[in-house]
Structure 1
Amino acid sequence: MDKNLALFNQINSLSYWLLKESNYKSSVSLDATDDSYFISIKDGIESIYKHHIEDFSKKDGKLLNFELSSIVHHLLHIKRSITDQQRIAV
């Protein structure tokens, strides 16, 4: 679970970075009632990225790690695109 906790921290950090350093709106939700994890990145009202993990607590550890790693990679790609655009604009 330590690896998954590190991935959660990275997802939260990247979401916060997107919120502060770009025009994108990010939200991350862990819903214990619904047993789900949801992340959404929007540019205004347009959805740029979203991922929903259902039956969160029942997921196999390796599968959960794979899904969280995938989210991190997508967020890093979005961040890289933003930083590249900012570098070109300067």
Structure 2
Amino acid sequence: MDKNLSLFTQINSLSYWLLNETHFKSSVSLDASDDSFFISIKNGAESIYKHHIEDFSKKDKRFLRFELSSIVMHLLEIKKTVQESTPKVS
């Protein structure tokens, strides 16, 4: 499987988890007409995280993989913070 596709899957899964398990609103957009990728995580009106990749199809694959990996790492850190702040049920 293409590594970038795998990273997209992780980004979508983490965004869905945040949407489903928290009060955060997540938005992921791959816009072919604008040739861009955008992700946004908000808590009400407050932006928690956002990242925009312009000229998406023209990016070097290794650099794109680095950027997507960075997004995954940020989302994992947000998830970890949410899980640590949630009281555990015994």
TM range (shorter): over 0.9
Gap regions ≥5 residues in structure 2: none
Letter of the 2:52 counterpart: H
User: What SS is found at the alignment partner of 2:78?
Assistant: helix
Structure 1 residues 81 and 48, CA gap change in structure 2 (3 angstroms): same
Q: What does residue 22 of structure 1 align with? A: 22
Q: What does residue 13 of structure 1 align with? A: 13
Moved over 4 A (4+): none
Q: What does residue 36 of structure 2 align with? A: 36
Measured on the aligned residues, the alpha-carbon RMSD in Å equals 1.6
Letter of the 1:6 counterpart: S
User: What SS is found at the alignment partner of 1:87?
Assistant: coil
**What is the TM-score of this pair, normalised by structure 2?**
0.95
Deviations 1:27-85 (A, max 9, x none): 00000000000000000010000000000000000000000000000000000000000
For residues 88 and 46 of structure 2, the distance between their equivalents in structure 1, rounded to whole angstroms, comes to 24
Q: How many residues are aligned here?
A: 90
User: What SS is found at the alignment partner of 2:87?
Assistant: helix
Gap regions ≥5 residues in structure 1: none
Q: CA deviation at 1:88?
A: 6.2
Residues 28-67 of structure 1 aligned to structure 2 (within 5 Å): 28-67=28-67
More helix by share: 1
